[in-house]
Amino acid sequence: MLSSVVFWLAAALAIAGAGGVLLARNPVHSALSLVVNLASLGVLFLLLHAEFLAVVEILVYAGAVMVLFLFVVTLLMAGTKAPKDEHRLRLAYQFLLAVLFGLILLVLVAHVMLGADWISNLAGPNAGSFGTIAAFGKALFTQYLLPFELTAVVLLVAVIGVIVLGREHGANR
């Protein structure tokens, strides 16, 4: 009973947040809407007993990534006004692209959801410890070791890239 109330509240907030990202005229309001969306997703993860994922969703996305977004937006926006109509015309092709990619994503999600084996996943061997840090870590370091290590390499490349770009700038000064 209670969990379905929480579900509908969080789901409604998640959709409202996603809508707010698109519809807000002010980039700071868009960023805030995205935070609402991410926090609601965190609650939905909690309802699925994925405690670790829920916390990481809030810690990493809402707490760190979005703060950096907001940081840049507030810094760049100081003194500028909302985009005028000629800017919006220039954005028209981006709008079409966004709709196209959105539809592709929707098809992918529908495909995965319709093909998923819900019942056996829920009653699987990990049903009791599902979502705990221990279960998550074990899966990460055994079953998904290769993708995990590859992600680490990708992140390392990004870190090196940042250092190279930063140094170039410093040397010219």
Partner 1 sequence: MATVIIILVKGLILAVILLSVFGVMTLTERKVLGRFQFRPGPNRVGPGGSLQFVADGLKLLLKEEIIPNGADRFVYLLAPVISLVAALFAFAVIPWGPPVHLFGQTVPMEIGGPNVGILFLFAITSLGVYGLILGGWSSHNKYSLLGGLRSSAQIISYELAMGLSVTGVLIAAGSADLNNIVSAQTNLWFIVPQILGFVIYVICMVAETNRAPFDLPEAENELVAGYHTEYSGMKWAMFMMAEYVNMVTVASLATTLFLGGWHGPWLPPEIWFVIKVALFMFFFIWLRATLPRLRYDRLMAFGWKVLLPVALLNTLATAVWVAVAR
**Smallest separation (angstroms) from partner 1 to the CB of 133:** 6
Q: Considering only residues 14, 34, 35, 41, which one is a binding residue for partner 1 as defined by CB under 8 A? A: 35
**Smallest separation (angstroms) from partner 1 to the CB of 161:** 18
**Smallest separation (angstroms) from partner 1 to the CB of 157:** 20
* Cα distance from N-terminal residue to C-terminal residue, the chain: 63
* Residue 56: burial class (beta carbons within 10 Å; 0-12, 13-18, 19+): middle
**Smallest separation (angstroms) from partner 1 to the CB of 31:** 10
Mutual angle of helices 27-47 and 66-77, in 10-degree steps: 170
Q: Considering only residues 9, 15, 48, 59, which one is a binding residue for partner 1 as defined by CB under 8 A? A: 59
Give the long-range contacts of residues 3-10, CB within 8 A, separation 24 or more. 3/47, 6/43, 6/47, 7/44, 7/47, 10/40, 10/41, 10/43, 10/44, 10/47
Separation between Cα atoms, residue 171 and residue 153, nearest integer Å: 27
Closer to partner 1 by Cβ: residue 11 or 56:
56
Count of chain residues binding partner 1 (CB under 8 A) = 27
26 in contact with partner 1 (CB under 8 A): yes
Q: Which of residues 99-158 bind partner 1 (CB under 8 A)?
A: 132-133
Residues in contact with partner 1 by CB under 8 A are 2, 26, 28-29, 32, 35, 39, 42, 51-52, 54-56, 58-59, 62-64, 67-68, 70-71, 74-75, 78, 132-133
